A and B are shown apart, each in its own frame.
Chain A
Amino acid sequence: MTAVAAKPQTGAIFNPTAMVVGIVLLIILLGIGYYVSPTLGLAALIGIVIGGVLIGFGVHFVPVGGAPAAMGQAPGIATGVAMLAAGAGLAGLFGGAWAADQGLLIAVITGGIGGGLMMAITCMMVNFVYVFGMGIPAASGKVLKDPITGDSQPEYKSQGTEGHGLPFVSFVGGVIGGILGGAGGTLIYIELLDLYKATLPTVMNASAAQILPIAVATAGMFAIGLFLVNAVLTAYNITGTIEGPHDPKFKRWPRSVVASAVASALCGLVAILIVLI
């Protein structure tokens, strides 16, 4: 079948062989982590993989309309998947890093709420512009009724478009996506920070207070890098635009989660090996 003849697939597409290969790769990478450092290194690597999976899964919730949304031709937020998810997730990471002293749980939840807050404000302002700036009510192109409010959608959809604005379910999806992204990014940061704080004094032959700025900066850079890796990977899985959890493309999440886990394990291994070898 040529690329032209191939029909676009919107629902779940599974390639069992690829999934198995992905899981085997993940086990091998975790095994290397165990071989290098059975306690500290492996614990950090598992945390990074969980964080990466949270980011990858969370990005599927974010309603992204891309270029068509900028002309009111498709519902969602008018920007790229990876960019918006990164914006929300990194805003969450900012809050989570601030709360790092208060323990893993508090920091991760604070990071999640930070990401959710950013998305709530952004989604609300998107609808503000659509409603008060352009006089357009929100309408989904993928469902007949909003799964949360039950509002009917087709009659509000402009002729010749796939919908516009952010129906309530997309708003909720955006907030959930921001929460998961912020929490995942913060989890990666905290795991790496703990690892660097424990190992860098020996590696650099310096006191804990001296290495703290280096540990914070390095963990922050790796957390941002891992965030972008997972967000971009998921953007490829989504291929263009997604309305939120009610979109048929949402069902593609399992393969993205496996891919995110493998990519996070590989990148996380690099982040760990710089201090453990």
Chain B
Amino acid sequence: MEQIVFGIGITALAGALATVAGSAEDTESNIGSQGDPNSQVQLAPQMGFVHRIFNKAVAGEPPAYALWCALGAGLAWAFLAMHVNAVLAIVLGSLLAVFVQGIYATTAYLGRTSSLAKFGQPVYVDILKSMTTVAMAHAFVAIFCTVTICYLINAALGHPFPLPLLGFIWGIALGAAGSATGNPYYGKERQYQNQKFGAGVPISASGNIVRYAEAGERNSIDNGFFTAKFGGPASGLCFGLIVFLELWRTILFEKVGAGWGAIIVGILIILVFTIIDRYMEVWARKNYGPYTAPAKEAAP
């Protein structure tokens, strides 16, 4: 009984850490335009829209986070083997992984942006200096939380995989959850704020991203500020639910029915999410109705 209560406590902590990790990951990727919306950031100058948006997308979010989390977890593992305190080992491992992320962000921005020189897109050194550090700070939060989850799963819950392997697995899952949930909000809702609300962006509008803010030109910190209010928390909720429910069903029901308990609970949870999804789909169709073309304004 005591072990189950301990397991539930660890599960709750891991779920909370995962929520923070997902939120930080999405905000970091939006500041760096690392998800799929990077295609528009790259396309805009080619269509004549020069901008001040950071772009470090030379890898997708899942493999990038798999690298950074595996690196953080691997280094933390090495420090633990040297009998360094666990908290310090995780912090040091994450810190070193973030330096790699910083180098990656710098070279990626310089490489991607300088390739657009023939379209008149400048490399802004002030953007490089101000955005990289902010992206690194968010990446540290995401990596630290993920490596801590892996450490808890390995040391406290007794998962057989070594720490670096867990870092790789949960890093890739973090990137997958964050990019799946957060990308549409950044891509459609922020980059194309000038398009009709409640409709997809017409393909003909591709590249015409919003480049101006309330004062001056829009930069990636403005984008991070915007998406941190919805896309980030939604990504956090997604990754938090994945980690929490996966651990919860295993800890509580693994021993029930010789392993079938966790399977049945897993199926029930999938059914619950299926019902929620269907309800949302029907709700949206009923309340928003079919697509209506925007009315053209009369000429003055």
Interface residues of A (CB under 8 A from B): 66-73, 77-80, 83-84, 86-88, 90-91, 93-95, 97-100, 102-103, 106-107, 109-110, 113-114, 116-118, 120-139, 149, 151, 155-161, 163-168, 171-172, 175, 213, 216-217, 220-221, 224
Contacts and interface: CB of A to CB of B under 8 A. Distances in A.
Interface string B266-300: 11011001101110110111001011010000000
Contacts of B100: none
What does DSSP make chain B's interface, helix, strand, loop or mixed?
A: helix
Which of B60, B185, B188, B237 has the most C-beta atoms of chain A within 10 angstroms of its own C-beta? B188
Given A70-B183, A117-B266, A168 B189 contact: no
Interface stretch (B34-42, B90-98, B117-125, B127-135): B34-42
A109 B261 CA distance: 12
A135 B288 contact: yes
B136 interface: no
B39 to A, nearest CB: 4
B242 interface: yes
B161 A134 contact: no
B241 interface: yes
B132 to A, nearest CB: 23
10 contacts: A70-B186, A79-B60, A95-B250, A100-B160, A113-B267, A117-B266, A133-B185, A134-B184, A138-B284, A158-B202
A55 B276 CA distance: 27
B222 interface: no
A72 B281 CA distance: 16
A137 B201 CA distance: 14
A97 B266 CA distance: 16
Which of B61, B191, B200 has the most C-beta atoms of chain A within 10 angstroms of its own C-beta? B200
A79 B259 CA distance: 33
A125 B161 contact: no
A171 B165 contact: no
B7 interface: no
Contact of A83 (B37, B175, B189, B258): B175
Given A127-B281, A217-B165, A135 B263 contact: no
Given A83-B176, A113-B270, A131 B250 contact: no
A50 B86 CA distance: 40
Nearest to A74: B200
Task: Using C-beta atoms within 8 Å of the partner chain, give the interface range for chain B.
Answer: 35 or more
A83 B179 contact: yes
Interface stretch (B46-54, B107-115, B166-174, B213-221): B166-174
A84 B60 CA distance: 10
A234 B87 CA distance: 40
B254 A99 contact: yes
Which of B203, B246, B277 has the most C-beta atoms of chain A within 10 angstroms of its own C-beta? B277
Given A100-B160, A106-B258, A130 B184 contact: yes
A164 B62 contact: no
Contact of A79 (B183, B186, B199, B238): B183
Given A134-B185, A159-B291, A88 B237 contact: no
Contact of A156 (B191, B230, B266, B290): B290
Contact of A118 (B246, B259, B293): B246
